[in-house]
Structure 1
Amino acid sequence: MTTRVSRRWRPRSLLQLVLLAFLVVMLPLAVLMLQAGPALSELSRLADVSARQAVEETRRARSLSALALEMERGARQYAVVEQESLLEIYAERIEEYREMLAQQRQLLPDDPDVAALEAQLVELARLPELPLEEFEERLIDFIPFAQHTEAVRRATNRQIDIRIDAIRERAEAVQTQLWLQTAALVSASLVLMLLFTWLIIRPVRQLERRVLSIGSGGQSHAVRPIQGPAELVQLDERLDWLSSRLEELEAEKQQFLRHMSHELKTPLASVREGSALLADGVAGELSPHQREILELIDASGGELQRLIEQLLDYNLLQHNRQMQTERLDVATVAKEVLAKHRLALDNKGMRVDCFDGPLEWQADRAATTSILDNLISNAIAYGEDAGELVVRARRCHDRLTIEVANSGAPIADEDRPRLFEAFYQGRARRKGPLKGSGIGLSVAADCARLQHGSLELVDDPYYAVCFRLTLPRVLVAGQLAHDHLALVGETSTHARNR
């Protein structure tokens, strides 16, 4: 059931949210296009009108110059040949010039040259009425008339340049406005895009954290409900159900392991106690064959007890047991573990070579003991009869390295990638009456990680199988000065010199 608070603001589905994000992000860009369209159309219209007017006005100014020249030529020809037809042509050119000048005055309303031309045009229109002698004397008036006509042409060009500059300034202003609008609206689109990206990514990341929390076994108390599309909210509810279901299964597993350990260890203790009483001769003297069978029963009972303890250790490590470090002698711990397996080593006829101490280190005693116990037990189970078992260690500045190696058949390449997986058993067969559980190396690797170290299978030039445990230095209060003095002049300790 989705929450009422989340329903107030979010779309009902992820598809709606994506579509809404697309529309809202595109809205500023659409506004930009709508605003840019009229501005560009206006600029285009101004440029077109200005170009047409410039061409027309330039042509008119040139036509005025050409008419002024024709008028002067016609008047001078009349003064020479005295043909009446030349005066008619002269009058037509005067009328054409007057019409064009009137149009030019609209472009240059306050230009003094235009006013001067209008006044001179009146005088020049009267020339055909004058006697020939006075007509010839007035031909000199065409010189200032041509000068004023040329001045009008230059003024027309200047006016066209001014108009072009105004259009250019208008274009620059529109361009600046468009750039500002583009920057503002594109920035708004980016902000909206980031906002909707956050709205989509935030619930996904919350779900990811929930999944990681469930996968790591962490308990998430008072988890805030996810606010987002309905699909993600429903997925969060499914994760809540999955988390509660996993907690129920984990509780059932814990209860099963507790009951199993009790049900198995109680009769096992009775069996081992009975075998110990028989070995002590309480029920009478035993024959050598009976004692051999009794030793086999006791050894099998010890192996079964070790498997049960491995299973319980594995379960404990899966629940994030905290590391409890103390300063211990690693050599003493290794020899205690070897002493525990002395009977199995003697039965197998293996030669043991262990490094000598003292070799002090800050570590978790139980975890380190478990690692060595599993590695030595593994070497006994899979090593060759009458072979060699070597435990060596060296300390180098901030790291302690412990290696457990044995002779025998090497581990197959196909088994190496999954060697530390829980309950995985490789192709090699365990030697002995009991089959292994497949969690010994997994427990050892977990104990190494508990101490922020590592356990790995390495190649050794002398032994077929070699496991290397690396533990980093863990300093506690009061240990720094002591460790510094202990490291001065220290050399690596090796169990075997070859």
Structure 2
Amino acid sequence: MTSQVSRRWRPRSLLQLVLLAFVVVMLPIAVLMFQAGEGMSELSQLANVSAREAVDQTRRARTLSNLAVEMERSARQYAVVEQPGLMEIFADKAEEYARLLEAQRRLLPDNPDITALQAQIQTLSELPGKSPQEVRDSLDEFASFADRTDAVREATNLQIDARIDAISDQADEVQQRMWLQTAALVSASLALMLLFTWLIIRPIRQLERRILSLGSGLEPPSAQLIQGPAELVRLGDRLDWLSQRLNELEAQKQQFLRHMSHELKTPLASVREGTGLLCDDIAGELTPRQREIVELIDASGEELQTLIEQLLDYNLLQHNQGASNERFDVATVIKEVLAKHQLALEKKGMRVSAFQEPLDWSADRERTLRILDNLVSNAIAYGENGGELELRAFRQGRSLILEVANSGEPIADDDRARLFDAFYQGRARRKGALKGSGIGLSVAQDCARAQNGQLILADTDPLAVCFRLTLPWSAEALADNDKEELPPPLPAAAESARN
């Protein structure tokens, strides 16, 4: 289903998406390059045509000035020597002048000097048919003729300057337009880059969240659909399959543990009941040797029952991370734990020193009791016979400190790093008939973390082994009653109980 939903409007593969992103991002840049080329070609063509026209017009204006001078020279020479060949030269120059003047008129159609020159050149063109005296009488017209020709030349230069200024303005306009297009198209390319980056990164982040949820065991009931290329969609489908498989395996494990606990507890209860009846002399009085064997069987049964309960507690904690906070008296919890292990302590011959002052605290009572229970059980199992066991409690700011210390063999440095790992057993061996499961301290650590607390092995303590539990005051309890304050400071005797 995921694949069908997400492939309707997205590329079929990650490679296609990357190639599409490259093409689409490069498209505005290609348009920009094309428009820049068109603008530069337009300016280049305009500048080329204008340059050629300017050269032709300047050359034509200069030729008109030279022709005017040559026509005047030919007319004056004819007026002096009266040689007919000079008037033929004059006529040729006049004809060429008229032709060039007509071309110049197309450049300056409204110029009055050109209009006057056209009238004058028509009059001067008639001089070759006149007498020498009439030619001499017409020589005065050449002064105004030359002045108007120079004026036309100046007007041509001004026209060329105006055209150059227009080309410069057009170049500035094209440059400004190119800058605006560059800013717009580069912004579009950047936006497209961000869009395709998001399209590629989003499914990867979705997969990352799925993997983290799988690893933490807190996956929501309905997983989010992976939307993206086909490769990532298929990977999301594989994660769905993996999630279902893990759930199936977890359900099988839970079922196995329930069945095994029942199957183990039923015969174990019968064994313990039988040993109890034997110890009570129901089947007849036992000899001291027989009683010792029966007590050993009963103690081993109790140890086995403890191991089964620890295993079930460990499995329960792995799937129940929430804390149920309440107010309780710390000294009462300690008394309950010691009462549970009273017989084991008496058998071990351990001297117990426990915190007994009233101390209210807000935390998860059941988890706190389980932590202390595991720590006391651990101290009984590994502590020395006839040794010391101390349970201390004191408040430090907004935290409660609980310490369980015992005399005996210190924990080896090589074991400290993995002390709270599940099923890890160090070099030290339990003093009893059965080996431990290696999950007691792991269960205690998980209970502490569930309450945002910390369980560590204290480095400096008068006794050989000391576990220190730090529990913060429950924030949920404060939220229920904003005016509620922390318990009053402990008495001096309670503060010094840890020393």
TM bucket (normalised to shorter chain) is 0.7 to 0.9
Instruction: Tell me the distance in 2 between the aligned counterparts of 1:148 and 1:482.
Output: 107
Report the TM-score when normalising by structure 2. 0.80
SS at match of 2:425: coil
- CA–CA separation in structure 1 for the residues paired with 2:136 and 2:384: 144
Matched residue, 1:38:
38
Corresponding residue number in structure 2 for 1:315: 315
Contact 2:79/2:135 (8 A) holds in 1: no
Amino acid at match of 2:325: T
Aligned to 2:438: 438
Partner amino acid for 2:360? E
Gaps of 5+ in 2: none
1:391/1:495 contact within 8 Å kept = no
Structure 1 CA distance, aligned partners of 2:403 and 2:35?
A: 77
Match of 1:484 in 2: 485
Greater mean deviation of Cα atoms: 82-91 or 241-250: 82-91
Deviation at 1:395, TM superposition (A): 2.1
SS in 2 for 1:470: strand
Q: Are residues 412 and 497 of structure 1, via their aligned partners in 2, closer, same or farther at CA, if it must alter by over 3 Å? A: closer
The code of the aligned residue for 1:239 comes to: L
Give the Å deviation of 1:308: 1.1
Identity of aligned residues (%): 65
* Closer/same/farther in 2, CA of residues 138 and 261 from structure 1, 3 Å limit: same
- SS of the equivalent of 1:44 reads helix
Instruction: Indicate if the aligned counterparts of 1:317 and 1:447 stay in contact, CA closer than 8 A.
Output: yes
Give the superposed CA RMSD.
4.2
Query: Take 1:92 and 1:58, find their aligned partners in 2: how far apart are those partners?
Result: 22
Distance 1:291 1:473 in 2: 49
TM-superposed CA distance for 1:257, in Å, is 0.9
Contact 2:210 2:219 in 1 (8 A): no
3-state DSSP of counterpart to 1:373: helix
Contact 2:394 2:498 in 1 (8 A): no
Segment drifting more, 89-98 vs 109-118: 89-98
Task: Determine helix, strand or coil for the equivalent of 2:245.
Answer: helix
Secondary structure (helix, strand or coil) at the match of 2:162 reads helix
Give the conservation status (yes or no) of the 8 Å contact 2:393–2:498: no
How far apart in 1 are the matches of 2:481 and 2:410?
A: 41
- Please tell me whether the aligned partners of residues 58 and 156 of structure 1 are also in contact (alpha carbons under 8 angstroms): yes
User: 2:453–2:470: 8 Å Cα contact kept in structure 1?
Assistant: yes
In structure 2, relative to structure 1, the CA distance for the partners of 1:44 and 1:375 (3 Å cut) is: farther
Give 2:54's aligned residue: 54
Deviation at 1:444, TM superposition (A): 1.1
| Aligned position for 2:151 | 151
Tell me the residue number matched to 1:331. 331
Alpha-carbon distance, 1:282 to partner: 4.2
C-alpha displacement of 1:328: 0.9
User: Helix, strand or coil: the match of 1:486?
Assistant: coil
Distance 1:495 1:269, change over 3 A: farther
Alpha carbons 1:213, 1:219 under 8 Å: kept: yes
- Please state how far the C-alpha of 1:212 moved relative to its aligned partner: 3.6
* 1:371 matched residue in structure 2: 371
Superposed CA deviations along residues 468-496 of structure 1, whole A, max 9, x for unmatched, are: 32222224389647742734788795454
Q: Which amino acid aligns with 1:115?
A: T
Q: In structure 2, what is the Cα distance between the partners aligned to 1:364 and 1:330?
A: 11
> Which residue of the partner structure matches residue 214 of structure 1?
214
Distance 2:135 2:96 in 1: 25
In 2 relative to 1, CA 267–86 (structure 1 residues): closer, same or farther, beyond 3 Å?
A: same
Tell me which residue corresponds to 1:422: 422
The alignment partner of 2:470 has SS state of strand
3-state DSSP class of the match of 2:477? coil
- The TM-score, its normalising length taken from structure 1, stands at 0.80
Distance 2:457 2:321 in 1: 25
State the match for 1:248 in structure 2. Answer: 248
Structure 1 residue aligned with 2:170: 170
| In structure 2, C-alpha distance between the alignment counterparts of 1:124 and 1:468, rounded to whole Å | 127
Alpha-carbon distance between aligned partners in 2 of 1:324 and 1:109, rounded to the nearest angstrom = 102
Instruction: Supply the distance in 1 between the matched residues of 2:385 and 2:47 (Cα, whole angstroms).
Output: 103
**Separation of aligned partners in 2, 1:328 and 1:83:** 144
Query: 1:117, 1:149 within 8 Å by CA — same for their partners in 2?
Result: yes
For 2:47 and 2:450, the matched residues in 1 are separated by: 80
Report if the CA contact (8 A) 1:392-1:495 is conserved. Answer: no
* Alignment partners' CA distance in 1, 2:109 and 2:351: 124
Cα distance in 2 for partners of 1:489, 1:154 equals 110
Q: Which piece of structure 1 moves more, 54-63 or 240-249?
A: 54-63
**How big is each residue's C-alpha offset from its partner over 1:298-334, in whole Å with a ceiling of 9 and x where there is no partner?**
4333322221111111111112254222211112212
Decide whether aligned partners of structure 1 residues 89 and 248 sit closer, same or farther in structure 2, where only a CA change above 3 A counts.
same
The corresponding residue for 2:263 is 263
1:19-168 to 2 correspondences below 5 Å: 19-62=19-62, 64=64, 74=73, 98-121=98-121, 135=136, 138=139, 141-142=142-143, 144-168=144-168
What per-residue deviation string (whole Å, max 9, x for no partner) do you get for residues 98-145 of structure 1?
Answer: 554444333222112333444455566778977589859946853x55
Judge conservation of contact 2:381–2:430 (CA < 8 Å) in 1. Answer: yes
**Higher mean Cα deviation, 488-497 or 398-407?**
488-497
> Which 10-residue stretch deviates more, 334-343 or 371-380?
334-343
